[in-house]
Amino acid sequence: MNTNATLVLDFEKNIVEIEAKIEGLKMLAKDEDVDIAHEVNRLQQKLEKQVRQSYANLTPWQKSQVARHPDRPHCLDYVHALIEDFTPLCGDRLFADDEAMVGGIGRFKNISVVVLGQEKGHDLETRMKHNFGMAKPEGYRKAQRLMDLADKFNMPVLAFVDTAGAYPGVEAEARGQAEAIAASIQKCLRIRVPLISIVIGEGGSGGAIAIATANRVLMLENSIYSVISPEGCASILWRSADKVKEATEALCLTAQDLKRFGVIDEIVKEPVGGAHRDPQTTINRVGEALLRNLKELLPLSGEELKKQRTEKFLAMGRNLPE
């Protein structure tokens, strides 16, 4: 487990206290010649039990907090771990390069692929560089350019979704934000190669669906996917930030809700305690899920892939569970 998390969530306080005791004992053992193995083992068992209990029945709001945890692996973490010989491709050939939307070509398990994704960044410098994962129109036009490239050279597309939403600034609207998102969704539906998307943190509004209109849509266990943020929903419906928990419940934004509604195809299980506590295991599980789904899609023809994708999204909402 990662005991160096930079953010402590409210429901994790008991966990952190036990972790601090374990670290304290280890420091004591360095300074004095004492046998701490038995006590550390006891605390380790207590810690594992506490983590399982804390994460067994998370509320939607707690899941939203986990989905946004800054120590979760981000898009580039998956790219660097899973994609060999990754070559970034920049620019939309119209205006600029948007670093909130990263993309390029590489090899995934010896299969040539095009990779897309929103990158939030890990610290202040990289968050500013990537605009907190909120893409502008040039980001979505870059995504369209790379999907065209994938279509031309018959390469599957892997998309890592992690954004609070498209950038809402005036300059983005002036450059055609809505059109860029709509055109990106349309491009997703038209390409004749496998397209697999996975929500690795937040899937926010049109900014997410612009690259998530896919043959297979996966979500990490503690990720969220919704038409609006809980805070935005609370401010519109209740005109109060105090109602954020009620808004989260009403949005049905958890992976479990969306699987039940048929909006997503698969939930990728996270390690006990969330992806931020064991990033490498999370990345490995995502890689396994992507490979399994990709192998199922590769035998299909271009027309079959297009038809499956279109029918999948047309069917949404027709037979919702009670």
- pLDDT greater than 70 at residue 5: no
Q: What local confidence, expressed as pLDDT, does residue 14 receive?
A: 80
pLDDT in tens, 121-133: 999 999 999 999 9
The predicted pLDDT at position 145 comes to 97
Cβ contact 212:197 at 8 Å: yes
The reported pLDDT for the residue numbered 178 is 94
SS3 203: strand
DSSP 309: H
Query: Could you tell me which of 164, 157, 159, 93 has the C-alpha nearest to residue 135?
Result: 164
**pLDDT value at 36 more than 80:** no
Q: Where residue 4 falls among pLDDT bands split at 50, 70, 90?
A: very low
Residue 322: the pLDDT is 61
Point out the least confidently predicted range of 1-5, 147-151, 274-278, 305-309.
1-5
Given a cut of 70, is residue 34 above it in pLDDT? no
∠ CA 198-163-246, nearest 5°, is 100
For 240-284, write each residue's pLDDT tens digit: 888 999 999 999 999 999 999 989 999 999 998 899 989 999 999
Give pLDDT, residue 173.
94
Task: Quote the percentage of the chain above a pLDDT of 70.
Answer: 94
Residues 6+ apart with CB under 8 A from 132: 100, 120, 121, 164
Q: What average pLDDT does the segment 213-232 reach? A: 94
185 touches 177 (CB < 8 A):
no
Report the mean per-residue pLDDT for the chain.
90
- Give the phi and the psi of residue 167 in degrees, each rounded to 5: -65, 125
Q: What's the burial of 277, exposed, middle or buried (CB within 10 Å: 0-12/13-18/19+)?
A: buried
* Cα→Cα distances 312→126, 214, 304, 305, Å: 36, 9, 12, 11
**Would you place residue 52 in the very low, low, confident or very high pLDDT band (cuts 50, 70, 90)?**
confident
pLDDT of residue 319: 65
What mean pLDDT do residues 14-29 have? 77
Average pLDDT over every residue of 35-39 = 73
pLDDT of 45 higher than 90: no
Helix (H) or strand (E) holding 247: helix 244-251
Q: How far is CA 153 from CA 84, 113, 157, 193, 293, in A?
A: 18, 10, 11, 9, 20
Please compute the mean of the pLDDT values over residues 78-99 and round it to a whole number. 94
Once rounded to an integer, what is the mean pLDDT over residues 54-65? 89
* β pairing state of 111-118 and 266-268: unpaired
Q: What is the mean pLDDT of the segment spanning 164-174?
A: 93
What is the spatial distance between Cα 39 and Cα 7, in angstroms, rounded to a whole number?
A: 27
